[in-house]
Chain A
Amino acid sequence: QKEVEQDPGPLSVPEGAIVSLNCTYSNSAFQYFMWYRQYSRKGPELLMYTYSSGNKEDGRFTAQVDKSSKYISLFIRDSQPSDSATYLCAMRDTGGFKTIFGAGTRLFVKA
């Protein structure tokens, strides 16, 4: 079983839809939770970063962490075609240098 599980999709939605992306994990030592966005032929770039449980909002993006369920989510409101990309969840504990990534979910937003 992988430490971080993420449905690779693809997920196709119409413009303006609310998108929900999720990951589950098994390592209870993870304390830092990140979402990266990767456009085709580019490196991943950090989208959101949260520590421990709770919600964080940044414009149209909301990240949620539920440590009791070992479940994290990224919500995208009013999705745009420019949001079409692969979204990777990532996690890390406090002690080491290793960031563990999910498989990435490929999102297509249709105009």
Chain B
Amino acid sequence: DTAVSQTPKYLVTQMGNDKSIKCEQNLGHDTMYWYKQDSKKFLKIMFSYNNKELIINETVPNRFSPKSPDKAHLNLHINSLELGDSAVYFCASSQEGLTAGISPLHFGNGTRLTVT
């Protein structure tokens, strides 16, 4: 059973196009995230939703717009794609609001975006 699944796995597109990535988790978690991993493997948080509410919005161009229709889904739409957007985008989820400790992140296997 896949816990966090992303589609598509690969996305090749031209500059200027608009594309979307979808993410679904079946772990029952209440918080979902988008991370971007560049070519040097550096993983940087972009957005986070907790119970469908946007709680983290890092310094990301407003061409990137996340949407969470429900707790189990988080999508990422990117307008006017640029060469620099080429990266691997990871969706992750966690359960917040625990009485003790924190819930580590569970990641999907990523969407490899190539902009030509």
Contact = CB atoms under 8 A, between A and B. Distances in A.
Q: How large is the interface on B (under 10, 10 to 19, 20 to 34, 35 or more residues)?
A: 20 to 34
Contacts, number: 59
A32 interface: yes
A103 B56 contact: no
B66 interface: no
A8 B56 contact: no
Interface residues of A, number: 27
The residue in A41, A43, A104 that gathers the most chain B C-beta atoms within 10 A of its C-beta is A43
B48 interface: yes
Contacts of B92: 43
A104 B44 CA distance: 12
The 9 closest A-B pairs by CB, nearest first: A43-B107, A104-B41, A101-B43, A46-B104, A43-B109, A103-B42, A44-B107, A43-B108, A32-B102
